[in-house]
Amino acid sequence: MSTDVTNSATNKISARIRMIAQVGMLAAIATVLMLFEIPLPFAPAFYEIDFSEVPILVGCFTMGPLAGATIEFIKILLNFAINGTMTAGVGEIANFLIGCALVVPAGLIYKKMHSRKGAIIGMITGTVVMTFLGCFLNAYILLPTYAKAFEMPMDALIGMGSAVNGNITNLLTFVAFAVAPFNLLKGILVSLIVLLIYKKISPIFKMQHI
């Protein structure tokens, strides 16, 4: 009996150490990916897409939504340490919430529907949630914070949007024609990449295939 208890405790400790190692590894990969940003033709230059949510979403499917949120948080902290902040941390908090809006719903649904269909439904749901939350946070928190940080009026930010997208004339159209498409595109691309790579990298994490 004592041997079984000891083995069980050892297995739990080993599993915990493995999870911590995987969280750290995925957070490091996400931080590196966050440094590579791609500008988009329909949005101002300060909206650049990155694929840092790819390893985070993998972590969500592997270890659950809480682990995914933890990886997202560590990524934000590491990026803060590397690049600092120009928004007194407000932008970083908003980015954390927007990232979690994609991966956490996807992870929750996949946890209940552990199949390829569940993963797809989860990623679609996460993309929709991220898009709506991203629009709200940009309109009421991020854009006003950026305007204040760079000491420019909101009209100047909207003008930057108008310069690349003629449909942008005010805050509402800025959100509708720049922010919403940006988050939709990011959610779709991240989801497609995860679908393509998940099965190939599954042996590394000992996870079931989608």
Q: Which residue did the predictor score with more confidence, 205 or 72? A: 72
Q: Specify the pLDDT at position 17.
A: 86
How high is the mean pLDDT of the chain? 89
- Residue 183 exposure: Cα atoms within 13 Å on the Cβ side: 30
- Chain-centroid distance of CA 61 in Å reads 13
Q: Which amino acid is at 99?
A: G
pLDDT at residue 102 is higher than 60 = yes
Q: Specify the pLDDT at position 27.
A: 95
For the chain, which domains are there? 2-205 (1.10.1760.20)
pLDDT at residue 2 is higher than 60 = no
Residue 89 Ramachandran class (φ > 0 left, ψ -120 to 50 alpha, else beta) = left
User: How far is 136 from 158, CA to CA, in rounded Å?
Assistant: 16
H or E element that contains 38: strand 38-39
Task: Give residue-wise pLDDT tens across range 9-68.
Answer: 666 787 788 888 999 999 999 999 999 999 999 988 888 999 999 999 999 998 999 999
Task: Transcribe 106-152 into DSSP letters.
Answer: HHHHHHHS-SHHHHHHHHHHHHHHHHHHHHHHIIIIIHHHHHHHTT-
114: DSSP letter? -
pLDDT at residue 206 is higher than 70 = no
Share of the chain above pLDDT 90, in %: 62
User: In degrees to the nearest 10, what's the CA dihedral of 69, 72, 76, 77?
Assistant: 60
Mean pLDDT throughout 109-134?
A: 95
149 by Cβ neighbours in 10 Å (0-12 / 13-18 / 19+) ranks as: middle
Q: Specify the pLDDT at position 198.
A: 81
Q: Specify the pLDDT at position 173.
A: 96
Task: Give residue-wise pLDDT tens across range 137-169.
Answer: 999 988 888 888 878 899 998 999 999 999 999
pTM of the predicted structure, to 2 decimals? 0.88
- How many angstroms separate the Cα of 92 from the Cα of each of 11, 112, 191? 36, 30, 22
